A and B are shown apart, each in its own frame.
Chain A
Amino acid sequence: MSEQNLQSQTVQTTGHAWDGDLQEFNNPLPTWWVYVFYFTIIFAVAYWIIYPSWPFGKGFLTGVPIPGLSRITYTNDKGETVESHWNTRALLAKKLNEHAEMQKPYFNKVAASDFNRIAGDPELSGFVLSAGKALFTDNCAPCHQQGGQGVVGFFPNLTDDDWLYGGTYDKIHQTLVNGRRGYMPAFGEVLSAGEIDALANYVASLSGIEHDAVKAADGRALFTSETAACYYCHTESAKGRQDMGAPNLTDRIWLWANVPGADKAEDKIAAIRSIIVAGVNKGVMPAWGERLSPEQIKVLTVYVHELGGGK
């Protein structure tokens, strides 16, 4: 760099001097940068005026209403068209409206198709899988759990191949619309401790659990006797009755007695005994017919059917 060029590049100072010779450089900002800064200030003020911003009295300033920019129009759950100031709640409602509109053709198709057709059509079954999952999560998962696996002693497992009230599309649909009420009387005061123990050993024997053969033989006689009258509901073969929701006692699936949770055979039998003593009066599934739309129930029917493979 030549001498002459160095001189032309002297740096400006602010003009102040401290301690005699201490000066402050004044490196100017680029104009465009300053204009961008001014623009951000103007933008902030405009934003503050147009959109809801400051608390005011008991409410707040809702902004200057500019349709499409600071106003949101949406349909609320009562079907009324509502116009509101810009806020994320209204924005969410508007987005939900839009997505419901996008789902509508699929729900219409579901409404127009029978169950087999829905399950056999790749597009509709894909829709059932995603929409059904959302519906199941919102409405069913609190009891039946996220994956439909239920809780032993409380809520039935929907993913196995045992259907208390029947696993056809129509039966599942009926269950969803009308709800169910599972009931078994308590035998604690009707039968003696010995009789209950005999029955428990018999029920254990049906599922291949280690048991006392003598007691089980007594239990078998009791099961079909008028004293205990178990066979009224569970039938003589103990395979249960789906029209009453009486469980099949010969399979490996347990809803009320926590047999899978017990390690030793005596604990398993104790679990069965406790159910015979106390009965079952909590097998209540609410009716969804008036809470969900027919299409939603149809989607859920197919979804639940696919969870356990149906029957």
Chain B
Amino acid sequence: MQVGLEEQVAPLQGRIPVFTRSVKGAFRRFKTGVLIFAYAVYFLLPWLPWQRAGAPDQAVLFDVPGRRFLIFDLTMYPQDVVWLALLLFIAAAILFFATALVGRAFCGYFCFQTLWTDFFIWIEAKIQGERPARVRLYRQPWNREKLLKVGATHLAWLAASFWTGMTFILYFGHAPDLVARFFAGEAAVAAYITVAVLTVSTYLAAGYMREQICTYVCPYGRFQSVMYDPETLAVHYDARRGEGRLGRASARAGLRTAEERHAQGHGDCIDCKLCVQVCPAGIDIREGLQYKCISCGLCIDACNGIMDSMGFPRGLIHYDSEANLSREKPARPHLHWKRLKVVGYGVSIVLMTAYLVYSIAARSSFEAAVTQVRQPLFVVLSNGDIRNRYQIRVTNKLGVAETFSVGIRGLPETALDLGNLREVTVKPGHSAILQASVILDAATAAKTREVEFVITPRAHPQEARTETAAFHYSEQR
């Protein structure tokens, strides 16, 4: 809680404003790197052209009306939804894995709430100035300067929010066309609703609610907290070193060097409160590990800067584990990966990823499904022969039209009657249904339980697939 800003109190818990001071250091550089990379991917990917046959030339396109996802050279159809499920499983396992090792690393460095809040704070700082200037502006009465600066900030936030929403819908349509249609007022209603909802939610979540999303709304932050082990690395304040025997003390005369401080019983913390001022969650890391901490490492950067300027060793705030810190003589913090939980998560990530890659690499160029028509189960023909009917659905997953032919195995070819459509040409991404009949004499029918259909794509005969369907007949009605 930032000192001096608690004036808004009950009956409603107003958000206590957090004005973060910007900071330089390794964690800040890493966060900025992640932010730039993630934004480059998110905002530019819909504009990346990609040549492919029979589909829009956009590298990533979630073609909902066409019932397919186009991702570079991969085309996903609804029946491939298992890949999406697998991807989500892998993402969850990676989250658990990382949390067991290094705590809420996802929250601190990769979560989009963190990224967008970071970006919005950057905008705020560019327009309104560094932390002291923003606090002053917040406290001063409304005047021209405040109106202009705050207004400009909100306009910039709204613009960023709008383009965030706009970019989201570009993944669902051909980007250049969609932008043109959007501004001409010709896009689908869903597009306008989506952009409106995302603009408002981004503006509110990254502009107003910020750390409150993590504290009150987000379930992941909470359930990650229970995945911590004593060995899990997290951002910790080394209280023993910082507080000494008599607690922290500011660096006034006579307490400037480490020797002087230690001699008088004070620790290395000079109580500059910089770690509090840089915290986007508005907490004091010196109070220990707490649920609001998103583990972004900015307090480490801030403290290291102060330690450098004081000539003290770095690492008063650093990544460490509770188990290590509670030891009589803490060892150098390191990753405790030799734990059943961590290794288990790691192995499952590797296995699932391997299966996903295999499954995508070994995907076939078509889908085929044979269903027996069950009403009626079988038909007695006028000469006493038995007919079973089947519907064969073929889906062409290639980028070009393909012709499929159907045969049967184990029974004479003459038993198969394909009616009018002996073979069928299917457009890319489309399905067709062939109606097949299998006619057997009563004696053979009584012995036959299954029919094997062989579906052969003409251009890739080596991919021919056998699908089995039941054959029904009983003499007793």
Q: Which residues of A contact B (CB under 8 A)?
A: 1-2, 5, 8, 12, 26-34, 116, 119-120, 122-123, 125-126, 129, 145-149, 157, 159-162, 208, 248, 251-253, 260-261, 306, 308-309
| A-B interface, 7 closest residue pairs, ranked by CB to CB distance from nearest | A147-B375, A251-B382, A149-B376, A28-B13, A28-B10, A119-B420, A252-B384
Task: Collect the chain A residues with CB atoms within 8 Å of residue B284's CB.
Answer: 5
Query: How distant is the Cα of A26 from the Cα of B389 in the complex, in angstroms?
Result: 72
Query: How distant is the Cα of A120 from the Cα of B379 in the complex, in angstroms?
Result: 24
Across the interface, do B433 and A5 meet the contact criterion of CB distance under 8 Å?
A: no
Query: How distant is the Cα of A183 from the Cα of B420 in the complex, in angstroms?
Result: 34
Task: Collect the chain A residues with CB atoms within 8 Å of residue B343's CB.
Answer: none
Q: Which residues of B contact A (CB under 8 A)?
A: 1, 9-15, 208-209, 212, 216, 243, 247, 284, 287-288, 373-376, 379-384, 387, 389, 417, 419-421, 424-426, 432-433, 435, 437, 477
Query: How distant is the Cα of A253 from the Cα of B381 in the complex, in angstroms?
Result: 7
Residue of A nearest to B286 (CB): A2
- Give, as a whole number of angstroms, the nearest-CB distance from B77 to chain A: 17
Query: How distant is the Cα of A81 from the Cα of B432 in the complex, in angstroms?
Result: 37
Residue of A nearest to B374 (CB): A147
Task: Collect the chain A residues with CB atoms within 8 Å of residue B373's CB.
Answer: 147
Across the interface, do B12 and A309 meet the contact criterion of CB distance under 8 Å?
A: no
Q: List 24 A-B contacts (CB under 8 A).
A: A2-B243, A2-B247, A28-B13, A29-B12, A31-B15, A122-B432, A125-B421, A125-B435, A126-B432, A129-B435, A145-B375, A147-B375, A148-B375, A149-B376, A159-B379, A159-B389, A160-B382, A162-B381, A251-B383, A252-B382, A253-B381, A261-B477, A306-B435, A309-B419
Query: How distant is the Cα of A2 from the Cα of B9 in the complex, in angstroms?
Result: 23
Query: How distant is the Cα of A146 from the Cα of B373 in the complex, in angstroms?
Result: 11
A160-B379 contact given A12-B10, A30-B216, CB 8 Å threshold: yes
Across the interface, do A32 and B375 meet the contact criterion of CB distance under 8 Å?
A: no
Across the interface, do B287 and A5 meet the contact criterion of CB distance under 8 Å?
A: yes
Across the interface, do B10 and A252 meet the contact criterion of CB distance under 8 Å?
A: no
Task: Collect the chain A residues with CB atoms within 8 Å of residue B376's CB.
Answer: 147, 149, 157, 159
Give the A-B contact count at a CB cut-off of 8 A. Answer: 104
14 additional contacts, CB 8 Å, given A30-B216, A123-B432?
A: A12-B9, A28-B9, A28-B13, A32-B216, A119-B421, A122-B432, A146-B375, A147-B373, A149-B376, A160-B380, A160-B387, A161-B381, A162-B382, A260-B477
Query: How distant is the Cα of A251 from the Cα of B387 in the complex, in angstroms?
Result: 15
Across the interface, do B15 and A32 meet the contact criterion of CB distance under 8 Å?
A: yes
- Give, as a whole number of angstroms, the nearest-CB distance from A66 to chain B: 15
A33-B216 contact given A5-B284, A161-B382, A309-B437, CB 8 Å threshold: yes
- Give, as a whole number of angstroms, the nearest-CB distance from B337 to chain A: 31
Selected contact of A120 from candidates B9, B14, B288, B420, CB within 8 Å: B420
Task: Collect the chain B residues with CB atoms within 8 Å of residue A30's CB.
Answer: 12-13, 15, 212, 216
Task: Collect the chain A residues with CB atoms within 8 Å of residue B1's CB.
Answer: 8
Residue of B nearest to A2 (CB): B247
The CB with the most chain A CB atoms within 10 A, among B11, B287, B382, is that of B382
Across the interface, do B10 and A26 meet the contact criterion of CB distance under 8 Å?
A: yes
Task: Collect the chain B residues with CB atoms within 8 Å of residue A5's CB.
Answer: 284, 287
Selected contact of A253 from candidates B9, B380, B432, B433, CB within 8 Å: B380
Query: How distant is the Cα of A231 from the Cα of B26 in the complex, in angstroms?
Result: 103
Query: How distant is the Cα of A157 from the Cα of B10 in the complex, in angstroms?
Result: 78
Task: Collect the chain B residues with CB atoms within 8 Å of residue A126's CB.
Answer: 432-433
Across the interface, do A149 and B375 meet the contact criterion of CB distance under 8 Å?
A: yes
Task: Collect the chain A residues with CB atoms within 8 Å of residue B216's CB.
Answer: 30, 32-33
- Give, as a whole number of angstroms, the nearest-CB distance from A310 to chain B: 8
Task: Collect the chain A residues with CB atoms within 8 Å of residue B421's CB.
Answer: 119-120, 122, 125
Residue of A nearest to B13 (CB): A28
Task: Collect the chain A residues with CB atoms within 8 Å of residue B12's CB.
Answer: 28-31, 34
- Give, as a whole number of angstroms, the nearest-CB distance from A271 to chain B: 13
Residue of A nearest to B435 (CB): A306
A122-B425 contact given A30-B13, A31-B12, A147-B376, CB 8 Å threshold: yes
Selected contact of B424 from candidates A119, A122, A162, A261, CB within 8 Å: A122
- Give, as a whole number of angstroms, the nearest-CB distance from A110 to chain B: 15
- Give, as a whole number of angstroms, the nearest-CB distance from B202 to chain A: 15
Task: Collect the chain A residues with CB atoms within 8 Å of residue B375's CB.
Answer: 145-149
- Give, as a whole number of angstroms, the nearest-CB distance from B203 to chain A: 13
Query: How distant is the Cα of A30 from the Cα of B217 in the complex, in angstroms?
Result: 11
Residue of A nearest to B6 (CB): A8
Task: Collect the chain B residues with CB atoms within 8 Å of residue A27's CB.
Answer: 13
Task: Collect the chain A residues with CB atoms within 8 Å of residue B437's CB.
Answer: 309
A260-B420 contact given A1-B288, A32-B208, A147-B374, CB 8 Å threshold: no
Task: Collect the chain B residues with CB atoms within 8 Å of residue A309's CB.
Answer: 387, 417, 419, 437
Task: Collect the chain A residues with CB atoms within 8 Å of residue B374's CB.
Answer: 147
Selected contact of B382 from candidates A8, A29, A248, CB within 8 Å: A248
- Give, as a whole number of angstroms, the nearest-CB distance from B445 to chain A: 13
- Give, as a whole number of angstroms, the nearest-CB distance from A42 to chain B: 16
- Give, as a whole number of angstroms, the nearest-CB distance from A40 to chain B: 16
- Give, as a whole number of angstroms, the nearest-CB distance from A293 to chain B: 24
Query: How distant is the Cα of A251 from the Cα of B381 in the complex, in angstroms?
Result: 8
Residue of A nearest to B375 (CB): A147
Task: Collect the chain A residues with CB atoms within 8 Å of residue B287's CB.
Answer: 1-2, 5
Query: How distant is the Cα of A148 from the Cα of B373 in the complex, in angstroms?
Result: 11
- Give, as a whole number of angstroms, the nearest-CB distance from A41 to chain B: 16
Task: Collect the chain A residues with CB atoms within 8 Å of residue B379's CB.
Answer: 149, 157, 159-160, 308
Across the interface, do A29 and B419 meet the contact criterion of CB distance under 8 Å?
A: no
- Give, as a whole number of angstroms, the nearest-CB distance from B426 to chain A: 8
Across the interface, do A32 and B424 meet the contact criterion of CB distance under 8 Å?
A: no
Across the interface, do B11 and A253 meet the contact criterion of CB distance under 8 Å?
A: no
Across the interface, do A31 and B381 meet the contact criterion of CB distance under 8 Å?
A: no
Across the interface, do A29 and B432 meet the contact criterion of CB distance under 8 Å?
A: no
Query: How distant is the Cα of A5 from the Cα of B375 in the complex, in angstroms?
Result: 77
Query: How distant is the Cα of A147 from the Cα of B377 in the complex, in angstroms?
Result: 9
Query: How distant is the Cα of A33 from the Cα of B217 in the complex, in angstroms?
Result: 10
Query: How distant is the Cα of A103 from the Cα of B208 in the complex, in angstroms?
Result: 49
Across the interface, do B433 and A129 meet the contact criterion of CB distance under 8 Å?
A: yes
- Give, as a whole number of angstroms, the nearest-CB distance from A51 to chain B: 18
Task: Collect the chain A residues with CB atoms within 8 Å of residue B382's CB.
Answer: 160-162, 248, 251-253
Across the interface, do B13 and A125 meet the contact criterion of CB distance under 8 Å?
A: no
The CB with the most chain A CB atoms within 10 A, among B10, B208, B376, is that of B376
Residue of B nearest to A149 (CB): B376
- Give, as a whole number of angstroms, the nearest-CB distance from B204 to chain A: 8
Residue of A nearest to B3 (CB): A8
Task: Collect the chain B residues with CB atoms within 8 Å of residue A120's CB.
Answer: 420-421
Task: Collect the chain B residues with CB atoms within 8 Å of residue A145's CB.
Answer: 375
Query: How distant is the Cα of A175 from the Cα of B229 in the complex, in angstroms?
Result: 78
Query: How distant is the Cα of A125 from the Cα of B420 in the complex, in angstroms?
Result: 9
- Give, as a whole number of angstroms, the nearest-CB distance from A145 to chain B: 7
Residue of B nearest to A251 (CB): B382
- Give, as a whole number of angstroms, the nearest-CB distance from B266 to chain A: 14
Query: How distant is the Cα of A161 from the Cα of B383 in the complex, in angstroms?
Result: 9
Task: Collect the chain A residues with CB atoms within 8 Å of residue B9's CB.
Answer: 12, 28
